[in-house]
Amino acid sequence: MDLKVSPDHPRMVKPLTFTLHITDDHAQPVNDAEVNGALRMKEMDMGTTQIKFAPKGNGDYEAAMTSTDMSGMWNLAVVASQGPLHAKKSFEFTVYD
């Protein structure tokens, strides 16, 4: 799993997009998976925001947010499921003022 956060330097109170690319053990794109994320701020308990990723084809999944509440380090824990197969990965990124 690889994650791209757009824009490259996300800012507080601005929209941001998460694009996730998922491949199998043979580097082939994984399509038709159910992909969910849990977004939490690392330095302060701001609760958890649940995120649902939509399939975009070729192993790509996308989710958008209108904003984050605070600047700082954030963690996005992603779970992808396809039938009996499950994969988990956590990503860290910074939101700027």
* DSSP strands (E only) in 9-47: 16-21, 34-41
Burial of 34 from C-beta contacts in 10 A (0-12 / 13-18 / 19+)? middle
Global confidence as pTM: 0.94
Measured over the CA atoms of residue 41, residue 22, residue 34 and residue 17, the dihedral's sign is: positive
CATH number (domain holding residue 69): 2.60.40.1930
Number of domains, the chain: 1
Rounded-to-integer distance, Cα 92 and Cα 28, Å: 25
What is the tens place of the pLDDT at every residue in 70-82? 999 999 999 999 9
Distance (Å, whole) CA 13 – CA 23: 32
Q: Which domain holds residue 27?
A: 2-95
Confidence of residue 32 (pLDDT cuts 50, 70, 90): very high
